């Protein structure tokens, strides 16, 4: 009888170990499934980050729009989904043991229902309550894109004003949600959606200061703080960040070289067609300003010269310093000045402060006249 009991208890112990091991293995996994309409090509890309590493996987979707994928994560993780040749984007969050389901039309990625996990549920609830505004915003953007593709005349004023009003209303609703829910991760995601913009830094800062608890400790919160600090470094009114870069003749050029003069700091690239087109206007305006003896100098920082060398005709026609930098978009000065598109112009005062960002070259003469008159006053 004692032998039977020993065998029984030994078997029971093994069974418990197997169950426990199986449960632990299950809780390490997440699974995402769903049904999405209007996905082209039979696949989409899923991107997520683990530490300093970025992983991109292809997820296949059948002709009925059904898909599923699963994996293992150590902590709450944001998954970025890219559809239809990266023209549409959505996101969701996964964590250990989460079963997440997605349903919706990829033409309206902001309205996709994502259920499973408290953060996804919170965000979907927010989207459902603001469905009309989110749908209107997508419709306006889609109409503008279609007219641009069809070379139709876009009623810029109408759609820009309407879009601005919708975004303003949505941002106010998001701010109210964040204020009421400062400990929710969903609040961090809404800050990222509505306030991560160089024109919204005061509101970004204001909302980040509201966060508490888990929301304050979420990794994205730190990324948003770093973004805010980087933008503020080169925002209008800030002292222009330092750099020291060799020009085409090997001479180190620094912002201090231009103290006492206005400086137009331009960013361009050797593979940028629009930059080449704008160069003609820049040369004409520079020559005219110099003829008028205006107190201004130009400096152009050029990326991608390691791919396509700077041609001799550029150095012949351009009478100001050209500073080639390597590394493409990751070049340090592009990051320091938060440059995300080219051509891009920044006007700096004689005392080294940033007066204007994203200044079109054709708008420079008028802007320069305005700031010079202001300085005289």
pLDDT bucket at 2, cuts 50 / 70 / 90: very low
Model pLDDT for residues 298-323, shown as the tens digit of each residue: 999 999 988 888 876 566 678 999 99
Model pLDDT for residues 35-67, shown as the tens digit of each residue: 999 999 999 999 998 877 888 999 999 999 999
Pairing between β-strand 262-269 and β-strand 344-348 as defined by DSSP bridges: antiparallel
pLDDT of residue 273: 87
Distance (Å, whole) CA 207 – CA 191: 7
Q: What is the pTM of this model?
A: 0.75
Q: How far is CA 350 from the centre of its chain?
A: 32
pLDDT bucket at 1, cuts 50 / 70 / 90: very low
Query: Is 324 a residue whose pLDDT tops 80?
Result: yes
Location of each CATH 3.40.30.10 domain in the chain:
245-371
Q: How far is CA 7 from the centre of its chain?
A: 62
Q: What 3-state DSSP class applies to 82?
A: strand
Say yes or no: domain 26-129 is CATH 2.60.40.1120: yes
196's CB contacts (< 8 A; 6+ apart) are 204, 224, 227
pLDDT of residue 68: 96
Domain 245-371, CATH class in plain words: alpha beta
Location of each CATH 2.60.40.1120 domain in the chain:
26-129
Model pLDDT for residues 81-128, shown as the tens digit of each residue: 999 988 899 999 999 999 999 999 999 999 999 999 999 999 999 999
Model pLDDT for residues 156-203, shown as the tens digit of each residue: 556 778 888 999 999 999 999 999 999 999 999 999 999 998 788 999
């Amino acid at each position: 009888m004692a032998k039977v009991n020993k065998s029984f208890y030994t078997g029971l112990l093994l069974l418990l170990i197997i169950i426990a091991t199986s449960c632990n293995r299950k809780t390490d996994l997440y699974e995402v499934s769903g049904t999405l309409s209007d996905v082209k090509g039979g696949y989409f890309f899923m991107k997520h980050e683990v530490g300093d590493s970025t992983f991109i996987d292809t997820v296949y979707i059948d002709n009925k729009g059904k898909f599923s994928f699963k994996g293992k994560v150590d902590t709450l993780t944001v998954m970025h989904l890219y559809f239809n040749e990266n023209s549409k984007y959505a996101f969701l969050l996964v964590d250990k043991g989460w079963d997440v389901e997605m349903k919706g039309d990829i033409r309206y990625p902001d309205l996709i229902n994502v259920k499973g996990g408290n953060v996804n549920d919170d965000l979907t609830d927010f989207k459902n309550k603001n469905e009309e505004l989110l749908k209107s915003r997508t419709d306006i953007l889609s109409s503008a894109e279609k007219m641009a593709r069809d070379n139709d005349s876009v009623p810029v004023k109408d759609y820009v004003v309407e879009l601005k009003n919708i975004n303003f209303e949505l941002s106010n609703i998001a701010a109210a949600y964040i204020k009421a829910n400062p400990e929710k991760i969903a609040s961090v995601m809404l800050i990222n959606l509505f306030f991560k913009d160089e024109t919204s830094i005061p509101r970004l800062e204001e909302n980040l200061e509201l966060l508490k608890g888990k929301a304050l400790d979420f990794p994205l919160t730190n990324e948003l703080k770093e973004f805010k600090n980087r933008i503020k470094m080169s925002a209008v009114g800030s002292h222009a960040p330092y750099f020291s870069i060799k020009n085409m003749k090997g001479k180190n050029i620094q912002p201090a070289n231009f103290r006492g003069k206005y400086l137009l700091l331009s960013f361009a690239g050797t593979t940028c067609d629009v930059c080449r087109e704008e160069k003609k206007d820049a040369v004409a305006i520079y020559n005219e300003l110099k003829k008028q003896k205006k107190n201004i100098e130009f400096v152009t920082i050029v990326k991608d010269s390691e791919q396509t060398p700077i041609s001799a005709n550029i150095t012949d026609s351009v009478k100001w310093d050209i500073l080639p930098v390597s590394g493409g978009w990751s070049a340090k000065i592009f990051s320091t000045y938060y440059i995300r598109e080219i051509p891009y112009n920044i006007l700096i005062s004689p005392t080294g402060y940033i007066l204007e960002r994203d200044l079109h070259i054709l708008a420079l003469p008028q802007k320069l006249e305005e700031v010079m008159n202001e300085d005289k006053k």
